[in-house]
Amino acid sequence: MVSWKGIYFLLALFLGSFFGSIFMLSPFLPLMVISPAWYRWVTDCVVATWLTLPVALLEMVFGAKVVVTGDGFVPGERSVIIMNHRTRMDWMFLWNCLLRYSYLRLEKICLKSSLKSIPGFGWAMQVAAFVFIQRKWEDDKSHFEKMLDYFCDIREPLQLLIFPEGTDLTANTKARSNEFAERNGLRKYEYVLHPRTTGFTFVVERLREGNNLDAIHDITVAYPQNIPQTEKHLLNGNFPKEIHFHVQRYPIETVPTAKEELQLWCQKRWEEKEQRLRQFYEGAKCFDATGRSVIPPCKSELRVLVVKCVSLLYWTAFTLGVCVLLYTCSFARWYFVAVIVFFVVQQKIFGGLELIELACHQYFKRQQQIHATKAKST
């Protein structure tokens, strides 16, 4: 049954992303054709303000408890984050961890391309330059290559979240994973799916070549109660009471360089996840009895509380303010409609704002190369 809590949560997130895309992000779009690097920094900061909203709602309104154990994060370092995909919402719940241990503006996520078409959410993801994939390596490889090279060129200190399993854990996906295990003589898993290592190894190798990778963060996520498998579960008010993250940090110097060894390294991490999750769910439902990480969070709980309070107040006031503005100001209504049309049309024609941003960068890069060639010839 639909819950008022679920309606409030999803409506608050939707209106925040919808109005935020139109009135907070779109004014900065022209900066893309002037300086893609500056555009990336500014819009990352703006998007990060919205990412605090689901954190605030989950913890302050719905009482979710977040527990982070293991190594933790070195604040601001460039990393690839690999995580088991227990639910379709894991990527959003991770923000509760990153708010404490890192900087939300650094995170980029690999997501299926259909999500970019969602009004509000998808538009903001395009502006944030999330990496949208088709889940077909033949189609995704070139896009991965261009996006990763772009981040390396502008020295973007990103933390890229990828799900090597490719999809969330359900009865159907587990059955397919077990079939894969049988065909390849592998062990069957109960709590994770067998990872797909092609994309993972490509990402690590490409960022390594671009000197834009400091570490790999291997995160295991678990929910001792109320596992919200899909958005529908959230709509029904089935919010997680606790979210546990166990973080293992691997400095890039300790990670294999050979492709085959890197694939085996990833598979080994998933073997460990299976064992760790088995102990979690069949035991005391905690990763570490201390409930703390080795590296302390870069923000105190008081600071996190202030951020959450400010986020709730700001986004509530912003959403109500935009509604009043649209009701009272005809220019705002025309602007509102024009930006919506722009978001829809640009995706139909160009495929998304992240692709336009990439094209702008490639144009500036070619111009620099031309000028450099002319300078050498003279």
Question: SS3 breakdown of the chain: % helix, strand, coil, rounded to 5?
Answer: 60, 10, 25
Predicted confidence at residue 76, as pLDDT, reads 84
Distances in Å between the alpha carbon of 297 and those of 60, 293, 294?
19, 8, 9
Distance (Å) of CA 263 to CA 110, 139, 289? 19, 21, 31
Segment 47-73 shows an average pLDDT of 94
pLDDT value of residue 378: 66
Q: Indicate whether 292 pLDDT > 90.
A: no
Model pLDDT, residue 226: 86
Pairing relation of β-strands 159-162 and 107-112?
parallel
* Integer angstrom CA distances of residue 59 from 54, 90, 243, 293, 312: 8, 15, 10, 19, 11
- Mean pLDDT (whole number) for 64-72: 92
Q: Which residues neighbour 133 within 8 Å (Cβ) at sequence distance 6 or greater? A: 110, 111, 112, 113, 140, 143, 144, 199
**Mean pLDDT on 62-87:** 93
- Mean pLDDT of the 169-176 span: 95
Reduced to 3 states, what is the DSSP secondary structure of residue 70?
strand
pLDDT 10s digits, 316-353: 999 999 999 999 999 999 999 999 999 999 999 999 99
- In whole numbers, what is the pLDDT of the chain averaged over residues? 93
Structure confidence at residue 127 (pLDDT): 96
pLDDT band per the 50, 70, 90 thresholds, residue 222? very high
Q: Please indicate whether residue 68 or residue 377 has the higher confidence score (pLDDT).
A: 68
152 pLDDT exceeds 80?
yes
CATH code, 4-318: 3.40.1130
Select from 170, 175, 113 the least CA-distant residue to 140: 113
Mean pLDDT of 28-54: 95
User: Is the pLDDT assigned to residue 164 strictly greater than 90?
Assistant: yes
Taking residues 200-224, what's their average pLDDT?
Answer: 95
Q: What average pLDDT does the segment 348-370 reach?
A: 92
pLDDT, residue 52, reads 97
Kindly state the average pLDDT of the residues 139-148: 91
